[in-house]
Amino acid sequence: MNFRRVALGTTLAFTLATAAACGGSSSGSDGGDDAFSVGIVRFAPSEVTTEAVINKYTEMAEDEGWEVTTANPDGAVDKAIGAMQDFVQKDVDMIIVSVIESKSLTAGLKSAEAAGIPVASIAGGGADGVTFDLVVSPGVEVPEAMVENMGGKGRVLALGYKPGLPCQLREDAFNETVEGTDITVDRQEVLIPGQLESGQKFATTWLAKNPKGSEPLAIWACFDDPAMGSIVAAKQSGRDDVKIYGYDGTPPALKALKDGQLAATAAPDTTGAAQMLFDATPDVIEGGPGAEPKTEEIPFPIITPETLDEYLAENPGADAS
């Protein structure tokens, strides 16, 4: 089956929670022939975008009578591998891993392959043993808007996060967009957990070194949480001269757009992404770990103060109002 690209992307302790256990192995709640068991390795509860995809997927699975169990490694690769191996021991039908780069999960992927269990990824990229991947668009529109607003010159604080593939892709797009301009980039690596605090801390220090009126200034974050921390820093420093950019379209970010505190963010269709993953699940399980890899793309269209009302009209409740 060929998937079309869609424009819509150890022995450590784990917190394991059964999200649904209402189905057996013989029939779904709608009278279908199959009920599946799925183990999901979340990234971290604070990563709202993939959490929204997982929550919607779990809801769909519950309705179908599937059994879904999740693990929270809080962004740690070794814990994610341990969770995958735990799911192998539980003999699930499929494992889904969120955000953590698939190429760093070799031990977990090999365990799943040896047990005949296919692995799907949400924004973790491809690797041997991953047969379905929801690919995140790099959202190049955000840095393009930033460069245009700065007139192609000035200084930017870039807040990145290398362990997460979405942030890697976004930062690559950022670097390519800034290349050839007269913009100087000061980069910092945020922490997870602690992304809000990281954004505030780095922005506070950076703002003190770059006074108002010195040159065009901006803060770019590879997801909304550090951008929100940067907004706090700007408020506390009495600065309104710095444009701040993020990704994910979280409710706080959308409110910040409305209030004029955020210049732009980008938001995925999380419901559409969950639907793609749900629709693919039977084929992924049937194909097993040796199937030809398939991908679907989740786009991240830009949202600005000017387009916010249109976005909210199309996505009611996105701002948690």
Query: Which pLDDT score is estimated for 16?
Result: 33
**What mean pLDDT do residues 2-26 have?**
31
* Lowest-confidence pick of 98-102, 130-134, 262-266, 297-301: 297-301
Q: Provide CATH code, domain 15-136+269-299.
A: 3.40.50.2300
What are the residues whose beta carbons fall under 8 Å from the beta carbon of 55, sequence distance 6 or more?
none
Domains of the chain, by residue range, sit at: 15-136+269-299, 141-246
Find tokens 């950076």 and name the residue: 206
Model confidence pLDDT, tens digit, residues 256-310: 999 999 999 998 888 889 999 999 999 999 999 999 999 998 877 899 999 999 9
Average pLDDT, the chain: 88
Find tokens 């040896």 and name the residue: 114
Identify the burial level of 231 via C-beta atoms within 10 angstroms of its C-beta, where 0-12 means exposed, 13-18 middle and 19 or more buried.
Answer: buried
* Lowest-confidence pick of 70-84, 189-203, 307-321: 307-321
Q: Write out the DSSP string of 85-103.
A: HHHHHTT-SEEEEESB-GG
Query: Which pLDDT score is estimated for 33?
Result: 52
Find tokens 């409740």 and name the residue: 317
- Per cent of the chain over pLDDT 70 is 90
1 has pLDDT over 70:
no
CATH class (in words) of the domain with range 141-246: alpha beta
Query: Which pLDDT score is estimated for 149?
Result: 97
Model confidence pLDDT, tens digit, residues 153-169: 999 999 999 988 889 99
Alpha-carbon span 187 to 178, nearest angstrom: 13
**What mean pLDDT do residues 231-241 have?**
97
Find tokens 């189905």 and name the residue: 23
Cβ contacts of 281-284, under 8 Å, gap ≥ 24 = 281/36, 281/38, 281/61, 281/94, 281/120, 282/34, 282/36, 283/1, 284/94, 284/118, 284/120, 284/131, 284/132
